[in-house]
Amino acid sequence: MKKIKVITILGTRPEVIKLAPVIKELKKKKCKIISKTILTGQHRQMVRQFLELFHIRPDYNLDIMHKDQSLFDITSRCLQKLSKVLKEEKPDLILIEGDTTTAFISSLCAFYLKIPVGHVEAGLRTYNKYQPYPEEINRRLISVVGDLHFAPTKIALKNLLNEGIRTDNIYLTGNTVVDALYSISNKKYSISNKNINGIDFRKKKVILITAHRRESFGGPLAQICKAIKLIAEFPNVEIIYPVHLNPNVKKPVEAILKNKKNIHLLPPLDYLSFVYVLKNCYLVLTDSGGVQEEAPAFGKPILVMREVTERPEGIKAQIAKVVGMDSKRIVSQTRKLIFSAAAYRKMAKAVNPYGDGQAARRIVKAIADYFQL
């Protein structure tokens, strides 16, 4: 029987979460598909717990992470180390996800070696090359060299068609983050994380904050922190902010927000704890892409602390609002959702425009069809 070899390449925490359902689905097809995984190590400490949670044991760990690494460092080390493994393994297809530097360099490396590329979460666009940075250019370049484009939404599919990608190379799948979220949210969870154990989610309006993007470094992040400090003065509010380990985030956040009574600056949460907080919080303020896709599953309003978003589906469904990185606007829009029940109800809808939990199955079926298995 004909078999193909598919190598899935992971580098960061979001990639592990979003590719875990696909890896699981690939393993179900072991009579037709040899599935292997490569961890680049773009994130090291932050990725380990997610590999354990989803029972992923990478076949290779390139371990490229260095302290205070730059995009130049990530790019050069990933390209050099990955090329050696791909030359040795000779896969029929590599699978990458999203718009990280790992994803882009993996696609470039595969192109140099004439290996087909499957792109999970293809077609997201802002059409502003510095928003988000460097992700917008990463994903657009991946689309140029990609062969199988797994679009999570109709808007993403339309973006790809508008850029000249052939219709028969695009597959509308939904987003695999919803697959991962549903698989985790159904598990029993006891609050063992001491950092969130004492927070009263029933009586307090708990606001979940995530802010870590490169374009937020410096002045914009200071503005976000200033807003958080002011929001913490609202009555009956508790703030949970799992702080990214990058010193460009951690140092300014701690300098402005440390030791504030109702602001909980936490180390990055394990995924079970994160999903628990997301399910039970009142409101989400984020500059993350993935959180914009996860929060709607639980009916949580989202204020997006960016100038633009590549996920307009949430804006269209009125479950998310772009508020930028100016402290006054962030505070103003948060105040409205804290004090206006009508404004809150308008956004608090358990509607997820990003998927139904079956994306991984559709992706693996598309791969099987492509190779006529």
pLDDT for res 191? 67
Summarised one tens digit per residue, pLDDT across range 276-291 is 999 999 999 999 988 9
| Residue at 116 is within a domain | yes
135 is a catalytic site residue: yes
Q: Is residue 216 part of a domain?
A: yes
Q: Say whether pTM exceeds 0.85.
A: yes
pLDDT of 336 higher than 80: yes
Structural domain contains residue 180: no
Q: How many domains, the chain?
A: 2
pLDDT of residue 234: 96
Which CA distances in Å does 111 have to 61, 86, 102, 163? 21, 11, 14, 19
> Which is the catalytic residue, given 15, 121, 179, 294?
121
In a domain, residue 336? The reply is: yes
* Residue 184 within a domain: no
Pairing between β-strand 237-242 and β-strand 205-210 as defined by DSSP bridges: parallel
Instruction: Give the range among 7-16, 43-52, 153-162, 190-199 with minimum mean pLDDT.
Output: 190-199
- Residues 55-93: pLDDT tens digits? 999 999 998 877 778 889 889 999 999 999 999 999 999
**Based on the domain organization, do 133 and 213 belong to the same domain?**
no
Mean pLDDT of 344-371: 93
For 8, the 3-state DSSP assignment is strand
Mark whether 366 and 343 lie in a shared domain.
no
Q: What are the tokens at 10?
A: 């992971």
Q: Tell me, yes or no, whether 318 lies in a domain.
A: yes
| Amino acid 1: pLDDT | 67
Q: How far is the C-alpha of 114 from the C-alpha of 215, rounded, in Å?
A: 33
Domain-embedded: residue 353? no
Q: Which of 15, 25, 97, 99 is catalytic?
A: 99
Note whether residue 352 is domain-resident.
no
Q: Are 297 and 352 a contacting pair, CB within 8 Å? A: yes
Q: Are residues 158 and 54 in the same domain?
A: yes
Residue 208: CATH number of its domain: 3.40.50.2000
DSSP 263-328: EEEEPPPPHHHHHHHHHH-SEEEE--SHHHHHGGGGT--EEE-SS--S-HHHHHTTSEEE--S-HH
Are residues 200 and 167 both part of a single domain?
no
The verdict on 170 and 251 lying in the same domain is no
Which residue of the set 214, 329, 335, 361 is catalytic?
214
Give the number of other Cβ atoms within 10 Å of residue 249's Cβ: 18
Q: Residues near 179 by Cβ (< 8 Å), separated by ≥ 6?
A: 21, 355, 357, 358, 359, 360
Give yes or no: residues 274 and 343 share one domain.
Answer: yes
**One domain for residues 116 and 238:** no
| 214 assigned to active site | yes
62 and 167 both lie in a single domain: yes
Domain of residue 75 covers 4-174+358-370
Options 139, 244, 306, 362, the catalytic residue = 244
Cα gap 229→370, rounded to integer Å: 52
Using CA atoms, how far apart are residues 360 and 20, in angstroms rounded to an integer?
A: 9
Per residue in 231-273, pLDDT tens?
999 999 999 999 998 889 999 999 999 988 899 999 988 888 8
Same domain? For 225 and 329 the reply is: yes
The reply to whether 19 and 165 lie within a common domain is: yes
Pair (9, 94) in one structural domain: yes
Residue 38 has pLDDT above 80, yes or no: yes
| Highest mean pLDDT of the ranges 43-47, 177-181, 188-192 | 177-181
Count other Cβ atoms within 10 Å, centred on residue 117: 23
- CA dist., res. 65 & res. 69, Å (int): 7
Q: Do 221 and 243 sit in the same domain of this protein?
A: yes
What is the pLDDT at residue 243?
Answer: 94
Judge whether 244 counts as a catalytic residue: yes
